Amino acid sequence: MKKHNIEHRKPSASPVRSVDVAALSRELAALPAVPPTARPRTQRDLIEQLREPLIEALVDRHYSFAALAEVLSQWGIDIRPDTLRRYLGPVDPNRRVSPRRVPPADRPPVGEPSPVPNAPPRGGSPDAIVRLDTAWAETPSE
């Protein structure tokens, strides 16, 4: 068996000099807030904001990732279907969207057509709804 030379061991952590922990704690608590540095918005951030409308389109309206990638590309969001799939993560095909959170006054009466012909059902954030509604209206019909 080989014997280890104790002199070659890494020295243990150096001892900390005496510190007034209470004073340091007060100083740290008194530090002013620093505004967070703005990081550039990423494509993943944008897809995350559009998550609910995209999943609704996938599950409730049976769009494919390729079709959604095409709609997004019309809005200047160039994304591959596989990337969109990865950003959204697993999507449960049995998932059903809970009843819309639109107040009854904003819904058209039963039997009355939607204000936009062939408009998709509404849900998700208001900005996402406007973007998808506009994309839906501008998408050439087959």
Average pLDDT over residues 123-141: 63
* Angle (CA) 114 52 118, round 5°: 20
**What is the share, in percent, of the chain residues with pLDDT greater than 90?**
41
How many Å apart are CA 52 and CA 97, to the nearest integer? 9
**pLDDT recorded at residue 103:** 44
**pLDDT recorded at residue 122:** 47
For the ranges 3-7, 39-43, 46-50, the one whose mean pLDDT is highest? 46-50
> Is the pLDDT reported for residue 117 higher than 70?
no
* Angle (CA) 124 94 44, round 5°: 45
How many Å apart are CA 67 and CA 58, to the nearest integer? 9
How many Å apart are CA 19 and CA 24, to the nearest integer? 8
**pLDDT recorded at residue 112:** 53
> Is the pLDDT reported for residue 51 higher than 60?
yes
